[in-house]
Structure 1
Amino acid sequence: MSVLTRDEAQTRAQLLDVQHYSVDLDLTTGDQTFESTSLIRFTARTAGDTFVELKPETLHSALLDDEPLDVTTLDGNRLPLRLSEGEHVLRISTTMRYSRTGEGMHRFADPSDGESYVYTQLFMEDVQRVFAAFDQPDLKAVFEMAVTAPDGWTVLANGITEQQPDGRWRSAATPPLSTYFVCVAAGPWHSVRTEHAGLPFGIHCRRSLAAHLDADADEILAVTKACYDRFHEKFDEPYPFDSYDQAFVPEFNAGAMENPGLVTFRDEFVFRSAVTVTERQTRAMVIAHEMAHMWFGDLVTLRWWDDIWLNESFAEYMGYQTVNEACSDLFPDTWVDFGVTRKAWGYEADQRPSTHPVAPDPEAVPDTASALLNFDGISYAKGASALRQLVTWLGEKDFLAGINIHFKRHKFGNATLADFIDNLAAATDRDVHAWAEQWLRTTGVDTLTPALTGEGLRWNLTIDREGSRPHRVAVGLYDRDPSGELVLRERRELDVPQTEPAELTGPRPALAVVNDQDLTYAKLRLDEVSQESALRGISRIPDALTRAVIWNAMRDMVRDGELLPADYLDVALAHLTEETELALVQGVLGFARHQIADRYVTEEARPAALSTIRQIARALLRRTEDGEAPGLRLTAVRALIDSATTPDQITSWLDEGTVHGGPELDPELRWRILARLAVLGATDEPTIAAELERDPSATGQEGAARCRAALPTAEAKAAAWSALFDTDDLSNYLFTATAQGFWQPEQAELVREYVPRFYPAAIALGARRGAAMAEAAGRYAFPSYAIDQESLALGEHHLTDEMIPALHRKLVDQLDDLHRALNTRES
């Protein structure tokens, strides 16, 4: 299939003005294919040649102004068009194939009850899998959808849908949309509907999840309404669509997608097992993130994919900030979780060979295949961090004034980085153009380190910078009181680079924290005295966001070989057991378990690392025996399960159906225990089959696939490998679950023969099944635990092989992480 180049998109945008799509879908023709007809009204500004895109199973007919086109001229995904100047009508009828990879029109059969559901995910260029279109973001048009669906189904779309007397569903006409925002979701949905601000609101899920959605409906709708109201306080432009539906759909590849009027979410956000408040906060943030897109992304859309950061960075920043403001009664400080999870994602991505500017040059994104690679920690977390720094430097009032100018000037149109910066500049006297060049057009992470010189009661503070960006930071100065607490003396805002040292009065602080409150994007280091204070007393610092900054600094030091993994674990053992902020406990334990224990320590040191993690988890269990912190207790239970090296304790939990003192085991915990028992060789196929009979849901199917692939036998590994790479039968989620089970640190010798087989198998899979499955193979099926020079050399050798860009990018990242793990082991 041909990818669209930026030059081709510019040429076509100059030629065409697309006004209207009427799309007719028939979903009643079987479970493999559906019928699709597009009627496109457009104008050619001059005579010229162009093309329309589609990826049909069968192209039945194509009529241009009622004249038939030769369907045999379809070349890959392009049907050529020769146009005269003036108005045209193009009608194309096809049979299209349903997807099982989360792309195009994905079809899912629920194993719980046999019901089927379909939904579209048309991002980048997957609209062509559903209907013919001029598929680029700056050819916006009005869309009307007609859908024939099986009896008992409900059809959702971007506009309000109604079932007609003939049984077909029709949607209201939309405002002008980019093609990749069109959405249809059809099936026997369970729906909860309400009204807010004069608009219909709805939340929808599979029928088998109805009880779980109902249990959380009040919270989901309360968050939705609070964010909606808060955005209307911030933005002058009102919400631009006729309804607000949120559909929780199965086997969704992303967290969510900002389709106007019909946001789709992965239905793991309909929690069927116990979760922590941090996980509920993440769901709220994703709700706010997607709603922010209704303005930044949907109302005003990028012109070409080099500006994807404009969508994602803005929504990421607004998602966290708006939940922090509008839902503080439920979630006190979302920025702690951002700092310890999302920001770490950005730092890691920005230190790999594949790093790129937040806003890359247009020439660096020449086509849609290269654009797909930029959906990463840089476009999301680094970009959001840059915007947070911009708000700190600019002030929120001027920032929002510039945003509102942007919306007003470009509503229902397209805009570029230059437009965005010009509109910000119109609201302030500060030089935002220079700021953008320094922050958005550069790569890498600056490092900031405090230096204190002086004596007695007079000290000078200098912030040393490795890097080139300007920073507006808060520096927290802490003294140790007689009880050992680290007490804030003052928090001073400084500009980096400094024009002169900052003068301090009083004794030397016990701890100086650059970027206190985490307002900029930079790696932090501590001076010698401060580092000793932090390592000895991080749990004695009163502010959770300050603790997050220091934990992140220690994480970076481990990754950079400046702090031994064992020393990080010692600090965690000393202080995490006293931590009250759940996001920090989850983040630190996650890094300790999945990076340090699995990758950064040697095979000989791994049992001691796992033992330390179990000690932390047991201490947290003892702390939570009174039932006052169920999320902390659940986190501890998960860590104990995942770090078990003998089966006895977790087997007894599984047999009894409960952890002593609680919680009772829900499906998620039961599958987690069984997966760990499979790794340890302490379960078997009949036990897995019995658990699947107990929980035959989609999640149960994934749990069984993960457990079967984790069994430490040659037969189990051969069967899993064949399912992954020898057939294309697995859906995206079952592929991921199988891959997650296959590679285990405890089974390195058993699966060593598969390491060299991975590369040709993954390359062939990507060629057959496309970008989403290639990315899944690179992320989950990569031999992450084969940490030796031979594996690194093998992977680097295969980087020269021909493969699709999504897989190549993932392998570059994985091999860089492997190189870092090797360096950490040798440091």
Structure 2
Amino acid sequence: MPVLTRDEAQTRARHLDVHHYTIDLDLTRGDELFGSTTTIRFTAHHTADTFVELRPATLHRATLDGRPLDPATLDDNRLPLPALTAGPHELRIEADMRYSRTGEGMHRFTDPADGLTYLYTQAFLDDVQRVFAAFDQPDLKAVFDATVTAPPEWTVLGNAIAQRTGDPADGRWQLATTPPLSTYLIAFAAGPWHSVHTRHAGLPFALHCRRSLAPHLDADAEELLDITRRCFDRFHEIFDEPYPFDSYDQAFVPEFNPGAMENPGLVTFRDEYVFRSAVTDTEREGRAVTLAHEMAHMWFGDLVTLQWWDDIWLNESFAEYMGYQVLTEATRFDGAWTEFAVTRKGWGYDADQRPSTHPVAPDPDAVHDTAAALLNFDGISYAKGAGALRQLVAWLGEKDFLAGINDHFTRHRFGNATLADFIDSLARATDRDVHAWAGQWLRTSGVDTLTPTLTTQETPAAAPQHTTHPAATTEPTGHWQLDLHHDGTRPHHLTIGLYDRTPDNPHTLTPRPSAHTDLPAGGGTHTLTFTGHRPDLLLLNDTDLTYAKVRLDPHSWDTALHALSGLPDPLSRAVLWNAARDMVRDGELAPAAYLDAARAHLPHETDTALTRGVLTFARHQITDRYTTPTARPVALSTLTDLCRDLLHRTQTDNNPTHHGIRLTAVRTYIDSTTDPDTLQDWLDQGTVPGGPTLDPDLRWRALARLAVLGATTPATIDTELARDPSATGREGAARCHAALPDPTAKETAWQAMYTHDPSAQLSTYLFTATAQGFWQPEQLDLLTPYRDRYHPAAVALAARRGPALAAAAGTHGFPHPFIDQHTLDLGETCLRTADPTPALRRKLTDQLDDLRRALKIRSATTA
């Protein structure tokens, strides 16, 4: 399929003004196809050739100004409009479109729990053409009207208020006219939704999910709506522009590929956010961040939209930053930045150290087409960009930052804007050189590293003076010096945390007043001098206001090993844990030393986000990738012992925070144990001793681990599926069957993932679950033949099924348990000779770089 190039988009934008779309969808034509009729009114500025995009199953008719166009001229996804004359035009296209099973275009899902069917669209980035014909680029905004025919028992949702028309038995719905929108933001959802309605600020608000999840949505509806209202009100306090749409629907939809999508007036979320099993408060916080993030997009992205995909950061970095900030300011989740530090920031740091890294705002020539643009929805555009904006606010000041944002909204309301436009708005609000800042922060790639070196010098005491405290004059005075080594190019406004061991409890730390400094651009060593004695712990980037890796001097690291859990602020502890994480990844700290630190300090940790972040890194990176096979059993034993400590500490504790720590410990214990008898006993009893009960999530998790250990059977898995016949249960069963250490089970799973039979192809979710179960470090001998089959199969699948499956095959499908040179050679040969699709190539590039890093860490550890 041809992708749209930047040059083509610029040419078409100069040629056309698009005014209005009228869309009519017929969702009553069966399980495979739906009807799509589109009328587009637009103006051409001069005579030229152009085209409109659509990907139909069948193109029935196309007319331009009443004159028929030949459907046979449709070339893949482009219908030519040759020699289009200057002036107004009306294009009408009637087609049958195909439902998707991969979450792209119009996705169709039948719930195995009750047999009910649901549809929703995902038009991003260039998938609206799977739903209706469009001039599919973000800077050709237009007004939209839509009608939908659906089964009469269904509800239809869209970007604007939808109402039934005529006889209810006809299933006809009319959507209100939208303001000007980009095509990628158009959305529809249809099905027998369970809905919770309310009103706020004079607007209709609603939550929607499939009926089998109704009890779980109802249980959390007030929390979800309260967060929605609080964030909505806070955005109205800080933004001059009011919410720009006529309603606010939030639909939790099945088999959704991203976390959420910011469709104006109809935000779609993956329905795992409707919790059907116990979750931690940190997971509720994560859901709340997503709600706030998507609401921020109503301004950042929907009201003012990027002109081309090189400026995707203007959407995602801002929504990421504003989501965390507004959540912190307006809800009970006032520690959200700790979760950002320990979870999201590592995503950005990792992405920024791979060969595929790119600037937050890449050069336009680097985003030459939509396929290239899709690759940039990563930890850089989200987490690094948000970290850069947090640094910008610290350097610029919140008042000037918000003034610049509001100027930006006013100047480009319902239009398109670029990085240059945004920087100009900021520059109008401040005397600081934001153009230079943007060049240093947004146009460069890579992570700066900050390393401290401390020296001390005592000086003789001053001569005694008349004082009421003569003893004070007998103490020597002195100073200590910080040489701050800056390996990188960006300026940093930096907080330096200074801590002393508490005299009566050396495992706790007492903060001194923090120091603050501005590091200039260009790197080098910068010297700061302080009076008094040196602190026991010096922590660079305390409060986590900048984006940089930090190191500790030897004395501070020794203090941290003894008193890390004694740091009073969880955000400070997050910065320190991130420093340890980076040291492991850079070969400066042995993986076993990280595990030892976790073993020593997590039993005293009170923050669930930190507990989860440290355990996740320890379980999946330290244990499975950085630890050699011979040392892995000891690492797993360390983790299970640590989890037992956490369970013991929280067994009789009624602290709600500790409930989250306990649940996190249970999950990690299940994933790490090599003792199937304990897991089987928990399953038989239906509970962990002292709680929690084994809800569906924990039951499937325990059964998956039993499958890996060869301690369950296909019949037992099928019995569990009969107990939980939901979509999540179906995924759990697929994961468990694929995890069995049995040749027949492995070949069956492989064929399910990579079959060419269209009638048997897995959805993205089922493919992911199967791949997650398939590759297990405990089963290397059994899996070795599949490692050699992987690259040809993945390349063919990506070409056949598109970017969503390519991404799944390149992440979950990659043979990650094999940390060896042969696996690296296979991947490098594939990249050189097999011509994988861009989406798969990017994932393989990242996987191979992670593999090289793991090999270096193992080599350093062995040496």
Same-fold call, TM > 0.5? yes
8 Å contact from structure 2 (residues 100, 108) kept in 1: yes
Deviations 1:263-303 (CA, angstroms, capped at 9, x unpaired): 00000000000000000000000000000000010000000
Residue number among 655, 661, 685 corresponding to 2:684 in the alignment: 655
Match of 2:429 in 1: 427
Matched, 1:513 2:539: yes
**Matches of residues 769-788 of structure 1 in structure 2 within 5 Å?**
769-788=801-820
Q: Which of 181, 187, 194 does residue 183 from structure 1 map onto?
A: 187
Q: Quick one: which amino acid aligns to residue 89 of structure 1?
A: E
CA distance in 2, matches of 1:596, 1:749: 21
Matched, 1:199 2:203: yes
| Counterpart mapping for 1:319-398 below 5 A | 319-327=323-331, 329=332, 331-398=333-400
What residue in structure 2 maps to residue 38 of structure 1?
A: 38
Deviations 1:616-654 (A, max 9, x none): 110010111123221111111101100011201111000
CA distances 1:312-368 after superposition (whole Å, capped 9, x unpaired): 0000000111100101x2x23000000001000000000000000000000000000
Measured after TM superposition, the shift of residue 537 of structure 1 is 1.3
In 1, the alpha carbon distance for the partners of 2:540 and 2:722 equals 54
1:313 aligned to 313, 317, 334, which one?
317
Say which SS state the counterpart of residue 818 (structure 2) adopts: coil
Structure 1 partner of 2:518:
495
The equivalent residue for 1:812 is 845
What amino acid does structure 2 have at the position aligned with 1:361?
D
Check if 1:474 corresponds to 2:495: yes
TM-superposed deviation, 1:500: 6.2
SS at structure 2 position matched to 1:594: helix
Q: Is 1:576 aligned with 2:578? A: no
Contact preservation (8 Å) 2:34, 2:97: yes
Q: CA deviation at 1:496?
A: 1.0
The alpha carbon displacement at 1:371 in A equals 0.4
The residue type equivalent to 1:787 in the other structure is I
Equivalent residue letter for 2:361: A
Moved more, 372-381 or 528-537: 528-537
Per-residue deviation, 1:224: 0.3
SS in 2 for 1:22: strand
Other structure's SS at 1:480 match: strand
3-state SS, counterpart of residue 317 of structure 1: helix
State the match for 1:266 in structure 2: 270
CA positional deviation for 1:48: 1.3
CA distance in 2, matches of 1:621, 1:145: 55
How far apart, in 1, do the equivalents of 2:560 and 2:485 lie?
A: 19
| Matching of residue 544 in structure 1 with residue 576 in structure 2 | no
- 4+ residue stretches of structure 1 with deviation over 4 A? none
Kept after mapping to 1: 8 A contact 2:327/2:334: no
CA 1:70–1:592: 2 relative to 1, 3 Å = same
Distance in 1 separating the partners of 2:403 and 2:104 = 37
Displacement of 1:453 in angstroms is 2.2
Q: State how 1:427-826 maps to structure 2 within 5 Å.
A: 427-456=429-458, 457-482=478-503, 483-484=505-506, 485-497=508-520, 501-626=527-652, 627-628=654-655, 629-727=658-756, 728=758, 729-800=761-832, 801-826=834-859
Q: Deviations over 1:770-796 (max 9, x none)?
A: 011101100111000111111111111
- Tell me the distance in 2 between the aligned counterparts of 1:463 and 1:404: 37
Structure 2 CA distance, aligned partners of 1:754 and 1:406?
A: 53
1:241–1:260 Cα contact (<8 Å) kept? yes
Contact 2:481 2:527 in 1 (8 A): yes
Tell me if structure 1 keeps the 8 A contact 2:484–2:526. no
| 1:208 maps to amino acid | S
Could you say which residue in structure 1 is the equivalent of 2:472? none
Deviations 1:559-588 (A, max 9, x none): 111000001000110111110011000000
3-state SS of paired residue (2:835): coil
Corresponding letter in the other structure for 1:333: G
Q: Cα RMSD (Å) of the superposition? A: 0.9
Contact 2:456 2:533 in 1 (8 A): no
Deviation of the 1:824 alpha carbon: 0.7
SS in 1 for 2:516: strand
- Checking the alignment, whether the CA contact within 8 Å between 1:455 and 1:508 is kept in structure 2 is no
Letter aligned with residue 194 of structure 1: T
Q: Could you say which residue in structure 2 is the equivalent of 1:254?
A: 258
Which aligned pairs between 1:279-298 and structure 2 lie closer than 5 A? Answer: 279-298=283-302
**In structure 1, distance between residues paired with 2:628 and 2:452:** 33
CA distance in 2, matches of 1:499, 1:421: 30
* Alpha-carbon separation, structure 1, partners of 2:540 and 2:63: 65
Structure 2 matches for 1:144-183, cutoff 5 A? 144-166=145-167, 167=170, 168-183=172-187
Identity %: 68
2:125 paired residue number: 124
State the match for 1:211 in structure 2.
215
Equivalenced residues, count: 825
Aligned-partner SS, 2:498: strand
TM-score when normalising by structure 1:
0.99
The answer to whether the 8 Å contact 2:403/2:429 transfers is yes
Whole-angstrom CA distance in 2 between matches of 1:790 and 1:44:
57
Secondary structure (helix, strand or coil) at the match of 1:490 reads: coil
Question: Aligned AA for 1:228?
Answer: F
Aligned pairs for 1:15-30 (under 5 A) are: 15-30=15-30
Q: Which runs of 5+ in 1 are unaligned?
A: none
Deviates more, 1:724-733 or 1:209-218: 724-733
- Report the 3-state secondary structure (helix = DSSP H, G, I; strand = E; otherwise coil) of the residue aligned with 1:37: strand
User: Does the 8 Å CA contact 1:346/1:380 hold for their aligned counterparts?
Assistant: yes
Is residue 241 from structure 1 mapped to residue 260 from structure 2 by the alignment? no
Indicate the SS of the match to 2:700.
helix
Amino acid at match of 1:37: T
- State the 1:35 CA deviation: 0.5
Counterparts of 1:245 and 1:303, CA distance in 2: 26
Amino acid at match of 2:9: A
Match of 1:138 in 2: 139
Unaligned runs of 5+ in 2: 459-477
Q: By how many angstroms is 1:502 displaced?
A: 2.4
Question: Quick check: 2:62–2:92 contact (8 Å CA) kept in 1?
Answer: yes
Contact 1:153 1:186 in 2 (8 A): yes
Q: 1:499 to 1:811 in 2, by over 3 A?
A: closer
> 3-state DSSP class of the match of 2:563?
helix
Contact 2:485 2:526 in 1 (8 A): no
Query: Is the counterpart of residue 412 in structure 1 residue 444 in structure 2?
Result: no
2:103 matched to which residue of 1? 102
For the residue of structure 2 that corresponds to 1:275, the secondary structure is coil
Give yes or no for contact 1:289–1:318 (8 Å, CA) kept in 2.
yes
The aligned counterpart of 2:9 is 9
TM-aligned CA deviation for residue 490 of structure 1 = 1.6
TM-superposition CA deviations, 1:173-209 (whole Å, max 9, x none) = 0000000000000000000000000000000000000
CA distance in 1, matches of 2:480, 2:738: 60
Give the AA of the match of 1:652. D
> Which amino acid in the other structure matches residue 661 of structure 1?
G
Aligned partner letter, 1:363: D
On the 8 A contact 1:775/1:807 being kept in 2, the answer is: yes
In the aligned structure 2, how far is the partner of 1:175 from the partner of 1:505?
61
**Counterparts of 1:283 and 1:569, CA distance in 2:** 29
Q: Provide TM-score, normalisation by structure 2.
A: 0.95
Return the offset for 1:499: 9.6
| Contact residue 483 and residue 525 of structure 2 kept, 8 A | no
Q: What amino acid does structure 1 have at the position aligned with 2:389?
A: L
Q: Could you list the per-position Cα deviations for residues 415-461 of structure 1 after superposition, in whole angstroms to 9, with x for gaps in the alignment? A: 00000101101000000000000000001000001222232321122
